[in-house]
Structure 1
Amino acid sequence: MTTMPEAVGLGAADLDPAVAALTTARSVTILCHVQPDADTIGSGLALALVLHRRGIPVWVSFAEPAELPVSMRSLPGVQHLVVPAEVPREVDLLVAVDCGSAGRLGALADRLSGAATTLVLDHHRSNTRFGMINVIDPNAESTTSVLVRLLDAWQVPIDSEVAHCLYAGLVTDTGSFRWVRPGTHQLAERLLATGIDGAEISRTLMDTHPFNWLPMLSRVLASAQLVPAALGGAGLVYAFVRCADVTEVTSEEAESVVDIVRTTAEAGVAAVFKESRTIPQRWTVSLRSRDTTPGAHDGIDVAAIATTLGGGGHHFAAGYTTNGTPESVVAALLAAFG
């Protein structure tokens, strides 16, 4: 079995407690973060497939939205997904995947107290280490790549179904391999060698939208504003996704807007404010920065900015939730830039 090179800060000894917990668990709940992406769902379903094959009862869930995004419904293991109400109140082991804090579990955070053991698998630098066992590698490209090293330590082979889930998290969290580290392509090749169709997985997850996505984009992009002086001249571009803009599309389509806004050449940071469908003047904010920015050779650290506003994330991709008028939330973001 080929194993991946260990990332700095995560050695074999760090994986031993997690392996022991998984080996002895008699029942397992796996929780993904709210507004799930392919990394959290891919990690959760890959682990569920492994546990189910070992005869261990397993439940996978996320607090919101009510349904899994369409692009992820073809992932192997979706049969293990249950609605929040069906997640057991008590379980032998609870695993949180790709969650930087307990708050990212939303309403399902209350299940932590009913678990005999809690395990956190993540790659967010801002992770609060809220588990009894924490396997956190901020240098990892995705949580699925952390899970690969855990499966290797557990001596569990990776077949095509598990690889499909793992690749989904890897390709999305690296932006189709735009943000990589030494070993990233080696991992991709290992997963592809199981026979999965990487091109089809990528197309389904990242390049397929309903027609109504196009008129939604026209409305949202018309709201875009550029603040050239922000961040010492690095520049900020931002746009608003209002409830009226997304009546005919899913939240998944709204999430994709930031990847278009971020392409603005004159801005080192992009922000997209997405209005809550249920709570007036509540916004979920996605932040993105470029790999390199004048005055910041490694790009602007948007995770640090998001953390000051109650959120978190990665160096180049982060987010937070805020309340207020459009004018006030933009002003608060600009103030956080310093």
Structure 2
Amino acid sequence: MGEITEDRWAAATGALRTAVAAGDPILLVCHVNPDGDALGSMLAVGQALRKLGATKVQATYPGPSALPEPFLVLPGLDLLVDSPEAPVLMVTLDAAAESRLGAYASLLGEVPTIVLDHHASYTGFGDIPLVDSGAAATAVVAAELISRLGVPLDLQIAECLYIGVITDTGSFKYALTTPEVHRLAADLLETGLDPGEISSRVFDTRPFGAVKLYGEVLSRAVLEPENRLVWSAASLADLERHGQAPYVLEGLIDGIRCAAEADVACLLKQVGPAEWSVSMRSRGGVDLSRVAVALGGGGHRAAAGFTGYGTPAEIMDRIRIALGE
């Protein structure tokens, strides 16, 4: 695949096979507030390692344990633990920077670590990087790893990988949707997946309160023609007023980014008293990975994010400055 050498594939598969054969604890860790790609890739790899014979494989992520409702029926959720056993080998998934691993970043340098990722902003941590910035999703890298381990796809692994692919490609509409992605999707569908049911569950099913919340946040969107920028913000008070969980805001940025007058769209989602998760999208003319890295985050050219502190106005001022640099 792309940027991943055969030596790295051999090192990763060798390390995993050795750990499985020895019965060593293997820990899979994805990023805080896992999305479909992070969680799907992690659970797919975990189930594949079980099929390979692993008896001590666990999965986790930093931060609150609550998962978005659409992911509560994913196969392999029994792999998730809050307090994992001390590992002999660690695999990180979809985390481009150590900060995205929370407290588990302390294991880096102490435990041999395989990194599965696809972000251009990957910072270089870990011992065996399986990182391809040309891959549309970490799930694409995970699928290749599973294949190289000699584990055949089954319906459960395929569902996890498919959710990773469709969430990070926006149902195959983003720029990194390559022929390789469609070939992988075809292989996954061959297992008997129901793509309509999965897409409906992940993208098209939200409580009515979320619909009302969407309307309110969209009504507050601000267009800045001089900056070719459109943005809005959703506060914790908004969520509470409509009785909604934070996960319902995933996908809301697509309603903002469609503004024809803007090249860049931003959605600020409050997660603490003065803390906001910032999602950014561009039409391709602006390198948002550069902007996000400058602000402490990461991502891709057309899709990136970071954690901002202060008021929405203060955070937007920093974004405008970073866009102008």
- Output aligned runs, 1:119-134, within 5 Å: 119-134=114-129
Q: Is the 8 Å Cα contact of residues 274 and 309 (structure 2) preserved in structure 1?
A: yes
1:42 to 16, 40, 43: 40
Q: Is the 8 Å Cα contact of residues 28 and 56 (structure 1) preserved in structure 2?
A: no
Higher helix content, 1 or 2 = 2
Correspondence for 2:14: 20
Q: Which runs of 5+ in 1 are unaligned?
A: 1-5, 292-298
Q: Is the 8 Å Cα contact of residues 141 and 181 (structure 1) preserved in structure 2?
A: yes
Deviation at 1:12, TM superposition (A): 2.8
Q: Is the 8 Å Cα contact of residues 91 and 114 (structure 1) preserved in structure 2?
A: no
Deviation at 1:223, TM superposition (A): 1.8
Correspondence for 1:51: 49
Structure 1 stretch displaced more, 170-179 or 319-328: 319-328
Correspondence for 2:161: 166
Deviation at 1:55, TM superposition (A): 3.2
> After the TM superposition, which segments of 4 or more aligned residues of structure 1 sit over 6 Å from their partners?
none
Correspondence for 2:28: 30
TM-score by length of 1: 0.90
Q: Is the 8 Å Cα contact of residues 109 and 126 (structure 2) preserved in structure 1?
A: no
- Output aligned runs, 1:1-338, within 5 Å: 6=1, 8-25=2-19, 26-53=24-51, 54-83=53-82, 86-88=83-85, 90-112=86-108, 114-115=110-111, 117-179=112-174, 180-230=177-227, 235-247=228-240, 248-276=243-271, 279-291=272-284, 299-338=285-324
TM-score by length of 2: 0.93
Alignment deviations for residues 225-270 of structure 1 (CA, whole Å, 9 cap, x no partner):
011111xxxx100001111111111111123221211111111110
SS, match of residue 300 in structure 1: coil
Instruction: State the distance in 2 between where 1:255 and 1:177 align.
Output: 17
Q: Between the two proteins, what is the percent identity of the paired residues?
A: 39
Q: Is the 8 Å Cα contact of residues 51 and 57 (structure 1) preserved in structure 2?
A: no
Instruction: Report the AA paired with residue 211 of structure 2.
Output: L
Instruction: State the distance in 2 between where 1:37 and 1:173 align.
Output: 9
The RMSD of aligned alpha carbons is: 1.4
Instruction: Report the AA paired with residue 218 of structure 1.
Output: G
Instruction: State the distance in 2 between where 1:11 and 1:327 align.
Output: 44
Q: Is the 8 Å Cα contact of residues 48 and 146 (structure 2) preserved in structure 1?
A: no
Instruction: State the distance in 2 between where 1:301 and 1:37 align.
Output: 22
Deviation at 1:112, TM superposition (A): 3.4
Instruction: State the distance in 2 between where 1:193 and 1:284 align.
Output: 37
Structure 1 stretch displaced more, 140-149 or 250-259: 250-259
Aligned length: 315
